[in-house]
Each structure stands twice: as structure tokens, then as C-alpha cells.
Amino acid sequence: MATGIRDKVAILGMGCSKFGERWESNAEDLMVEAYTEALADAGIETKQIEAAWLSTAFEDIHVGKSGVPLAMALRLPYIPVTRVENFCASGSEALRGATYAVASGACDIALALGVEKLKDTGYGGLPQRSRGALNSMYWANVSAPGNFAQIASAYRAKHGVGKEDLKRAMAHISVKSHDNASLNPKAHLRNKVTEDQVLNAPMVSEPLGLFDCCGVSDGAACAIVTTPEIARSLGKKDLISIKAMQLSVSNGTEAQHNSWDGSYFMTARIAAGRAYAEAGVKRPRDEISLVEAHDCFSITELVTMEDLQLSSEGGAVRDVMDGFYDRDGKLPCQIDGGLKCFGHPIGASGLRMTYELYLQLLGRAGARQRAKNPVRGLVHNLGGLPNQNVCSITILGQHGA
């Protein structure tokens, strides 16, 4: 019987580039920026890294395919380097590769680095890309906001939520994320916005307005992982270890079988259930101190709070409006600004969320530090469409907690 990943792997060091419109930087520059911080934090040298994982999703507009771009940029010493892509959950996949490598005993120290350079397309929003030869012949003419907007229509119908009530809760989410990012020097969008601004912004895909959509950013984030024993031997005292890493991937049920009602993420519920079991979390709403959710769109964050069992089903609107997920609420969500305002360089995002929790757990988050150091944090990293997607849940916390 598998025993899971809990407390088998510790984070030795992390780094994250400034996110935003990095007109001056190539993807390689962003990789080095995140790596340099992580390496210093880990207190090791490049030659001590034994294996590496690189995550990118739109590689054709920046570094191209394979693990070679990472090895070249960081001058890695001819070690195994694997490139991974799993939609917007790619960053968590890189971390999973490195974590499992250490947990298996295959290597002592492993690296995960995610990068994306999205602002080289000439237009706003995510780059156009092929959906696959046959998919392109029958899929609807979807965009990312259009995909996720679908959830709002089904959620409203199922829970009888009025259009204006849902729109206001979504606005609260975006206002909160802008507030949080204003305290984060590495965030892409640091301006505060008002609820009126959010509600009156141009429509992107009904009911998602401009401020319901996350930033499309350039950036990189990086983690170096090892065993708790090695971390201690390298002088680390307050260890942050990984409690759970779960991934759930749609098999066609949502898209093709009439058992799913379209109002929630099946994968998130399944991955969260498995992650809580792996981490030994019994009452998520009480035991999780902080959550970094994949808030690609405001409606995604709202529905996800229910899928993660943090709000009751149909109860997220009330919790959001009550400030439960605000920075000074009981369970802050996106204390760093989230995808919405820290930004969303696809391949880096899962690692960026992990970076924030790592800082918060260590009490190193500066002006946005949670007053009482959190014990356990959850990263929710989602990719694809509501009806066929990839959901990754990572739980990390104080070692032994």
C-alpha cells in the first residue's frame, strides 16, 4: 500500500522572478532570475543538483521544446532534464517530478523550474494555438474566458443565484486580489480597484468582464527540493515539507456523459479528496491556513472554494461576501494577488503559488505576511477547460505538522 508523499520531501530553496510585461527579458533571463534566488536560498551550488524538470506551456513562442533550454540557461552539468506540459497546471507538474525523484531516492537534490514568456504575441490574452488536428474540426470556437464563463451559467442555474449577486461576489474576489497584490513588489498588477470599476469594465465573455480575468504575464518560478535529512544537514532549521501532491485528469465524463452538471470542477473535488487524505487533513476549512487557488477567472476561484471543501456547496458567494477569503479573513485566498494580479505565466504559475506559501510558512512574506504564521497551505493549479481539464493539488506545511 502506497504511503504517499507526506513529509518525505522538503523545500530547500525557492525563487521567483518579477512577474509582468518583461519586455526587456528573454525567457532565459527570467529563468536565471528565479534560479539565482532559489540557489542562494538553498545555499547550494549548481553542481549539487542531480535532476531537473522544466515546465512551459507555450514553448513555441519562446524557448522551444525539450529540457535543453533549461540546461543551457542554467549551465546544468549534463544531468537529466525533463520538460513537462499539462495545460496551466504545468508548474505543479515540474514540482511533482522533482519531488517524486527525491522521494524515490533516485537523487538527493532536484530542481523544478517553470517559465513562460507570453508577451511576445502582439495582442492581449493568451496566444492562439492549435487544439489538435481533430479537435480543431469540432470543438467550439472557445477562448479561455469563454471556457470558464460556462461555469457561471450552470452555477447560477443550479444554485438559483441572481446574475447581479454572482457578479458582485466575483467583483469582490477581484477587488481583494488587487488589494493583496498592492503589497507584493513582484506582482504584475499592483493597482487597487473598486467594485464599481470591476462591475463596469468591458465584457470579455459573458459574464466575465475585464477584471474577472487574470493577467497574462511573463515570469519564472523555481523550487529546489531534497529530503528533510539532507535539508537539516545543510543547516536548514524551519523545514517546509510537502504533505500531498495529487493530480486528477478528466477522462471525458464531463464533456461526454450527462452525469456532470457543469457547475463545478470534477477533477478538483477528486484531487482535493485524495490530497486531504494523503496529508491527513480531516477538516479542510479549519486545518488549511492559506490557499493559493487557480484564479484564472473570478468565477473559477469562487467555485473552487466549494470544490476544495472550504465553503459548503452553494455557500461560496456568502463566504466571499463575508470576507472569509480576504487577507484579514479566516482563510486568505491569493494573499499574494493570485493569478489575477501576481500574474499568470502559465508554466510558472504552480511554482509561483508554492513560492508564496513557502514564504508565508516561513514568515518571510514581508508587508503581506499573515500575522500568525500559517501551518498548512494549499496550492490548487488547474488547466484546460471546465469540461476537460487537469487539476493539481499540493499541500505543504511545517515539517511534522
Angle in degrees, 0-180, between the axes of helices 163-181 and 144-159, rounded to the nearest 10 = 130
CA 364/CA 308 separation, integer angstroms: 26
The sign of the dihedral angle between the CA atoms of 265, 268, 270, 276 is negative
Answer for the pair 85, 346: CB distance below 8 angstroms, yes or no.
Answer: no
Cell output for 171? 467583483
Cell output for 277? 487524505
Out of 1, 23, 75, 140, point to the residue binding other proteins (CB under 8 A). 140
Using the minimum distance from each CB to other proteins, give the nearer residue, 110 or 270: 270
Query: Which range, of 78-86, 137-145, 348-356, 367-375, touches other proteins by CB under 8 A?
Result: 137-145
Give the interface size with other proteins as a residue count (CB under 8 A): 48
Per-position x/- string for 321-360, each x denoting binding to other proteins as judged by CB under 8 A, each - no binding: ----------------------------------------
Smallest distance from other proteins to CB 217, Å: 17
Residue 151 near other proteins by CB under 8 A: yes
Smallest distance from other proteins to CB 271, Å: 17
Residue 80 near other proteins by CB under 8 A: no
In the residue annotation, 88 being an active-site residue is answered as yes
Smallest distance from other proteins to CB 164, Å: 15
Residue 273 near other proteins by CB under 8 A: no
Residues sharing a CB contact under 8 Å with residue 186, sequence separation 6 or more, in sequence order: 16, 17, 18, 19, 342
Q: Which of 188, 294, 344, 380 is catalytic?
A: 344
Using the minimum distance from each CB to other proteins, give the nearer residue, 37 or 295: 295
Query: Which range, of 74-82, 102-110, 145-153, 341-349, touches other proteins by CB under 8 A?
Result: 145-153
Residue 205 near other proteins by CB under 8 A: yes
DSSP E strands in 231-371: the ranges are: 240-249, 290-292
Residue 215 near other proteins by CB under 8 A: no
Residue 133 near other proteins by CB under 8 A: yes
Residues in the chain: 401
Residue 156 near other proteins by CB under 8 A: yes
With left for phi above 0 and alpha for psi between -120 and 50, is residue 227 left, alpha or beta? beta
In the residue annotation, 344 being an active-site residue is answered as yes
CA 305/CA 329 separation, integer angstroms: 14
Smallest distance from other proteins to CB 213, Å: 9
Q: How many CA atoms, within 13 angstroms, populate the side-chain half-sphere of residue 78?
A: 0
Cis amide prior to 207 (ω within 30 degrees): yes
Smallest distance from other proteins to CB 199, Å: 17
* Strand arrangement, sheet containing 219-226: 81-84, 51-55, 110-116, 219-226, 10-16, 240-249, 388-398, 376-385, 290-292
Query: Which range, of 2-10, 30-38, 256-264, 376-384, touches other proteins by CB under 8 A?
Result: 256-264
Q: Supply the DSSP string of 167-192, one letter for each residue.
A: HHHHHHHHHHHHHHHTT-TT-S----
Residue 368 near other proteins by CB under 8 A: no
Using the minimum distance from each CB to other proteins, give the nearer residue, 48 or 150: 150
Using the minimum distance from each CB to other proteins, give the nearer residue, 65 or 129: 129
Answer for the pair 11, 396: CB distance below 8 angstroms, yes or no.
Answer: yes
Burial class of residue 137 in the structure, from the number of CB atoms within 10 Å of its CB (0-12 exposed, 13-18 middle, 19+ buried): exposed
Residue 253 near other proteins by CB under 8 A: yes
Q: Which of 16, 62, 88, 296 is catalytic?
A: 88
Active site residues: 88, 344
Residues in touch with other proteins (CB under 8 A): 121-123, 125, 128-130, 133-134, 136-146, 149-154, 156-157, 202-208, 251-253, 255-259, 261-262, 385-387
